[in-house]
Amino acid sequence: MKVGVPREVAEGERRVGLVPETVGRLVKDGFEVIAESGAGRDYNLDAAYEEAGASIGGGPEEVYGEADIVVKVQSPTEDEIGLLREGQVLICFLNGPQEPGLVEKLAEAGVTVFSNEAVPRTSAAQAMDALSSMGSIAGYKCALIAADTIGKYVPMLSTAAGTTKAANVMVFGVAVAGLQAMAIMNRLGAEVFAYDIRPETKEQAQSLGATFIDSEDEKEDEREEDGYEEYEPTGWRKMMTSLGFYSYAEPPRDRYIVEGEEEEEDGSEVEDEG
C-alpha cells in the first residue's frame, strides 16, 4: 500500500502531512511512501524524505495518481479533488460542518475521508489528536503575537516614569488553544479573565491563574418588553480589556461584538485563534 504526501497549496500553509521521521516508521511497517518534491518546504528537504525511504514525485498528479492513501494538512481544493479517484483514502483537516459542499463532492468522487479534527479526545486516541496539538501551538503563538502587538507592557511595572498597570486579557473559549493562551499571558504578568458556556471549564481556567466569568452572572433579567430574557455577556464588556482572544472553533462573531469606543481600552487588540 502506497501513501502519498502532496505539497500544500493553501496560501501561507507551511505544514506537511508527514515528516521524514514518520515516513521512516511507515516504511519500516511495510508501506511505500511517495512525497511530492518540495512538500517539506525549507525545513524537511527532499533528501530527508529519500533518506527515510520515500520516493520523490515530480508533481501532484504523480503523487495522487500512485497513492492509495493521501495524507495532507488542509482540505483539498477543487483541483486536488479532481486528482482523487474512487476508492482512494484521504486524511486531512476536512472541517466538514463548515464545508458541506466539499463533503458532497468527495462523496460523489467515491473518496473515503478521515478528518483529523474529528478524532475523539480520549486517552486511546491521544497519539492521533492532531487538533489538540495544533490548538496548543495556536494559543502559544497567538499570545506572543498579541503581547508584541499591543504596544504596552503586559505586566505591571514600576519605572522612574511611573507605574504601568497590568494588561487585562479576556479569553473566550476554555479549550486547548484558550488554556495555552491563558498560561502564557499569566506568565507574562497579565491579569487574565476567561469565559466559556461550559461551567465545568471554570476549574481549568482558575488552575492557570485566570478569573472565570460565570455565565450565570452574565444574564440580564427580562430586558425585553415581551418578557423574554435575552442573553448577553455584558460583564466582560464593562471591563477595560487590553487583549481579547477568541478560541472557539467557529468564532461567534454575530453574538460577541464589542460595541462603542467607551467599552474598549485605547490600543486594545483582538486575537482570533479560530
Task: Give the separation between CA 166 and CA 168, rounded to whole angstroms.
Answer: 6
Cα dist from 199 to 100, 212, 239, whole Å = 31, 9, 21
- Taking 3-state DSSP, the helix, strand and coil percentages for the chain, each rounded to the nearest 5, stand at 35, 20, 45
Taking residues 79-94, what's their average pLDDT?
96
Q: Is 72 exposed, middle or buried (0-12, 13-18, 19+ CB in 10 A)?
A: buried
Q: How far apart are the first and last CA of the chain?
A: 35
Most confident of the ranges 13-27, 146-160, 249-263:
13-27
Backbone φ, ψ for residue 204 (5° rounding): -65, -45
The pLDDT value recorded for residue 102 is: 95
Q: Which range is least confidently modeled, 46-60, 91-105, 236-250, 256-270?
A: 256-270
Average pLDDT of every residue of the chain: 85
Strand 157-159 and strand 162-164: pairing? antiparallel
The pLDDT value recorded for residue 252 is: 43
Q: Is 236's pLDDT higher than 60?
A: no
Give the model confidence (pLDDT) of 193-235 as tens digits: 999 988 899 999 999 999 998 866 555 444 444 444 444 455 5
How sure is the predictor about 259, in pLDDT bands with cuts at 50, 70 and 90?
Answer: very low
Task: Give the separation between CA 70 and CA 219, rounded to whole angstroms.
Answer: 48
2-118 fold: Rossmann fold (3.40.50)
Backbone φ, ψ for residue 155 (5° rounding): -85, 170
Taking residues 260-268, what's their average pLDDT?
49
Give the model confidence (pLDDT) of 13-42 as tens digits: 999 999 999 999 999 999 999 999 999 988
Closest CA to 212 of 245, 177, 173, 251: 173
How sure is the predictor about 43, in pLDDT bands with cuts at 50, 70 and 90?
Answer: confident
User: Is the CATH number of domain 130-272 3.40.50.300?
Assistant: no
Taking residues 140-166, what's their average pLDDT?
91
Q: Is 265's pLDDT higher than 90?
A: no
- Bridge-partner residues for 71, per DSSP? 91
Q: Is 71's pLDDT higher than 60?
A: yes
The pLDDT value recorded for residue 224 is: 47
Alpha carbon 8 to its chain centroid, in Å, reads 17
Task: Give the separation between CA 1 and CA 33, rounded to whole angstroms.
Answer: 9
The pLDDT value recorded for residue 238 is: 52
pTM of the predicted model as reported, rounded to 2 decimal places: 0.74
E strand or H helix at 115: strand 112-115
The pLDDT value recorded for residue 266 is: 55
The set of cell numbers assigned to 60 is 501532484
Give the model confidence (pLDDT) of 156-177 as tens digits: 999 888 999 999 999 999 999 9
- Amino acid identity for residue 110 in this structure: G
Taking residues 63-88, what's their average pLDDT?
97
Question: What percent of the chain lies above the pLDDT cut of 90?
Answer: 62
The pLDDT value recorded for residue 255 is: 42
Task: Give the separation between CA 192 and CA 170, rounded to whole angstroms.
Answer: 6
Q: Is 163 exposed, middle or buried (0-12, 13-18, 19+ CB in 10 A)?
A: exposed
The pLDDT value recorded for residue 226 is: 45
The pLDDT value recorded for residue 161 is: 86
Task: Give the separation between CA 180 and CA 127, rounded to whole angstroms.
Answer: 19
Taking residues 78-106, what's their average pLDDT?
95
Domain(s) labelled CATH 3.40.50.720 in the chain stretch across 2-118, 130-272
85: Cα within 13 Å, side-chain hemisphere: 9
Sequence-ordered list of residues with C-beta below 8 angstroms from that of 131, at least 6 positions apart, any chain:
93, 116, 117, 119, 176
The pLDDT value recorded for residue 231 is: 45
